[in-house]
Structure 1
């Protein structure tokens, strides 16, 4: 993964909580936290890429002891400034390798963040690291989009997802390497500002194999945090892998 100042430094952190997408709606956060609190079963929870605490803070408010890992000191500073932020333990580091003392009943990685790990080897290490933190019977939860390749016309590699008076945004896919990027052009005072964030898209079956390599097994998969069925038309999935109790 890249350093904190590359993609999630002060510039992004300053605006990160201003989002108006579904992930910031109270009902979405409530459903997410409800599932995670249930899976934690009264034990400790480890959030990979804890960021500004969108999920960690309300989960802690439900009585779950939460510890986070994050590379970005700028994002963690926003977490610390919020009510209850000081109660969230945070380890600064790469969540594919950084270790935290003790064991956890739950580890989780939400909002497509597994794709911020831009190599297959790195994604496998993420699963191994999560599994190493779990107590027997503990669960690793990942929320991630299903790659939108069906939206690509033949011969094209770009999927636009925003176009309005203040800017444009599009995803670019490489069908051979599974590399992709989200690209943003924001128009402020008549001037365009461009930024690009790299990802590696990943399929559900590929994640299941990564989990097996890490000694985990698939327990449940839903089309969202309300436990709706996962189907061929699902735009994302919430997957739960379990560390064997024996």
Structure 2
């Protein structure tokens, strides 16, 4: 068995290009959209300027604009941005095709958001720290960085898994994954078999960090922890929480 989780040939655009056409269908319920919008309005202030990292199809960005926020979204996948353009034909969201470390716009922004484990898409050594640094440099004094991420479950051995994600009369989607605690990485493929379309592969790969590791990155970038919940609508964070929503704040 391999001791690292890796998808050969995986690039920064692989996830977005693989999932763009199914993302809104498969992941419509992964985040409480209304609660996220309310949280960002509270954090950024009414009419505030928000930078969303990994904006994807705009499932959060467009509702934030509709709530009165001024949103700039960045994503490395042109396929994802094309889906966002369909959702937002009047271009209310300012879009940037680029890397969420090296291509961030100058700002300043009142708040930044990286939702649903998107920060963990940064795989290179030090990339997540550089992301914190880059965001801090683009926030106004007192600005906030909202991070939504899963809490690693503490598995201490490498492993792999094959399971059925979904099954219908004309299609089956299998989930194939492997994880490596030594490198804090996990990767996989959703393998979709359809009666008319053959086989479609949708790869993914993440490099996770614990809340404590993220707190250390944030501190190194000049942030402090303002608050942490297990859900966007404010459920308390406990040792049993499977995810966390943390607001990091720059000095005022």
* TM alignment of 1:86-101, pairs within 5 A: 86-101=91-106
Label 1:193 to 1:88 Cα distance change in 2 as closer, same or farther (>3 A).
closer
Label 1:99 to 1:163 Cα distance change in 2 as closer, same or farther (>3 A).
closer
Question: Partner residue of 1:232?
Answer: 239
Question: Partner residue of 1:179?
Answer: 185
TM-score computed with the length of structure 1 as normaliser: 0.88
Partner SS for 2:85? helix
Question: Partner residue of 2:6?
Answer: none
TM-score computed with the length of structure 2 as normaliser: 0.86
**Equivalent of 1:241 in 229, 248, 252:** 248
1:30 aligns to 2:38 (yes or no): no
Residue 124 of structure 1: how far off its partner (Å): 0.4
**Equivalent of 1:7 in 6, 15, 21:** 15
Contact kept, 8 Å, 1:79 with 1:85, in 2: the verdict is no
Contact kept, 8 Å, 2:148 with 2:245, in 1: the verdict is yes
Residue 175 of structure 1: how far off its partner (Å): 1.4
Larger RCO (CA under 8 A, 6+ residues apart):
2
1:200 aligns to 2:207 (yes or no): yes
Which has the larger helix fraction? 1
Label 1:161 to 1:126 Cα distance change in 2 as closer, same or farther (>3 A).
farther
Question: Partner residue of 2:194?
Answer: 188
Contact kept, 8 Å, 2:148 with 2:246, in 1: the verdict is yes
Question: Partner residue of 2:25?
Answer: 18
What stretches of structure 1 of length at least 5 have no aligned partner?
Answer: none
RMSD of aligned Cα (Å) = 2.2
Question: Partner residue of 1:217?
Answer: 224
Label 1:60 to 1:164 Cα distance change in 2 as closer, same or farther (>3 A).
closer
Residue 182 of structure 1: how far off its partner (Å): 3.2
Partner SS for 1:8? helix
Partner SS for 1:23? coil
Residue 169 of structure 1: how far off its partner (Å): 1.4
What stretches of structure 2 of length at least 5 have no aligned partner?
Answer: 1-9
Structure 2 distance, partners of 1:124, 1:139, is 16
